[in-house]
């Protein structure tokens, strides 16, 4: 693999759009994403002596950005009240008994993940569905499922217990499944 020159003067032109898209997709806030990319470039310049050339500069910078995103989640976890998670309600499509237990289960999953994975329209709907999650659920899901961060590290970043993480991931998956069934299922039939 041929790596590009680690010339910081060219980074904004060569990698700026790529890193910005990566950050916006995970942070869902253009201003915070811009800040994260700027911090990434600064950290890259400061750490340029540590760049060994084994990977392309683009992926090296993306690794730095990934850590900046995790730092952002860690910081916002200290600032976001836990009540945001507690106030999350089941969608109205679930008829709830007085005890709060769903009276019906979600429909069986009918999609072919391999087919949907390559579909651009699917990813637009998926992003729309993840954007509807409450902030804390979205952060937990993004770190654990999209970024592949370990459960232990996700708990540390968000300042939650493993049991709380499990509940948050479960709620996120359930919400995403319902949203995808509603919005993608109709298009995919």
Higher-pLDDT residue of 50, 97: 50
Q: Are residues 63 and 122 in the same domain?
A: no
- Domain harbouring 32, CATH code: 1.10.1740
Residue 153 sits in a domain whose CATH number is: 1.10.10.10
In this predicted model, which residue has the larger pLDDT, 129 or 88?
Answer: 129
Query: What pLDDT is attached to residue 102?
Result: 52
Same domain, 94 and 172: yes
Question: What pLDDT score does 90 carry?
Answer: 46
Parent domain of 166? 83-183
Q: Are residues 169 and 88 in the same domain?
A: yes
The one-character DSSP state at 66 is H
Under 8 Å between Cβ of 100 and 55? no
> Residues 90, 178: one domain?
yes
Cα–Cα distance list, 177 to 66, 75, 158 (Å):
26, 29, 23
Average pLDDT over residues 124-142: 90
| pLDDT on residue 42 | 93
Regarding whether 108 and 73 lie in a shared domain, the answer is no
Report the alpha-carbon distance of residue 55 to residue 40 in Å, rounded. Answer: 17
CA distances, 41 to each of 20, 45, 52 (Å)? 11, 6, 17
| Any domain includes 36 | yes
Kindly state whether residues 93 and 173 are assigned to the same domain: yes
Tell me: do 93 and 117 sit in the same domain: yes
Residue 72, judged by CB atoms within 10 A of its CB (0-12, 13-18, 19+), counts as buried
CB atoms inside a 10 Å sphere around CB 183: 16
- Residues 163-174: pLDDT tens digits? 999 999 999 999
Query: Around 122, how many Cα atoms within 13 Å sit in the side-chain half-sphere?
Result: 14
How long is the chain? 189
Report d(CA 5, CA 7) in Å as an integer.
5
Task: Say whether both 94 and 166 belong to one domain.
Answer: yes
Verify that 90 and 152 share a domain, yes or no: yes
Residue 33 counted as domain residue: yes
Q: Which residues contact 66 (CB under 8 A, 6 or more apart)?
A: 147
When pLDDT is cut at 50, 70 and 90, the band that residue 52 belongs to is confident
pLDDT digits (tens, 9 = 90+) for 53-80: 888 899 999 999 999 998 888 888 776 5
- Whether residue 3 is contained in a domain is answered as no
Among 79, 98, 121, the domain boundary falls at: 79
Residue 1 within any structural domain of the chain: no
Last residue of a domain, one of 22, 47, 79: 79
- State which of 51, 79, 107 marks the end of a domain: 79
pLDDT digits (tens, 9 = 90+) for 86-102: 444 544 444 444 444 55
């Amino acid at each position: 693999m041929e790596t590009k020159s680690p010339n910081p003067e060219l980074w904004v032109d060569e990698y700026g759009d790529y890193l910005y898209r990566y950050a916006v997709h995970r942070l869902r806030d253009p201003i915070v994403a811009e800040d994260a990319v700027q911090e990434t470039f600064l950290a890259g310049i400061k750490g340029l002596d540590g760049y060994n050339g084994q990977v392309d500069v683009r992926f090296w910078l993306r690794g730095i950005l990934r850590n900046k995103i995790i730092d952002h989640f860690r910081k916002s976890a200290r600032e976001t009240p836990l009540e945001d998670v507690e106030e999350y309600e089941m969608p109205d499509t679930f008829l709830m008994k007085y005890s709060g237990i769903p009276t019906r289960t979600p429909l069986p999953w009918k999609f072919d993940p391999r087919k949907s994975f390559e579909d651009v329209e699917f990813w637009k709907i998926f992003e729309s569905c993840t954007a509807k999650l409450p902030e804390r659920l979205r952060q937990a899901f993004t770190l654990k499922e999209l970024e592949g961060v370990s459960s232990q590290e996700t708990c540390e970043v968000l300042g939650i217990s493993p049991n709380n993480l499990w509940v948050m991931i479960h709620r996120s998956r359930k919400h995403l499944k319902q949203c995808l069934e509603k919005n993608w299922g109709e298009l995919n039939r």
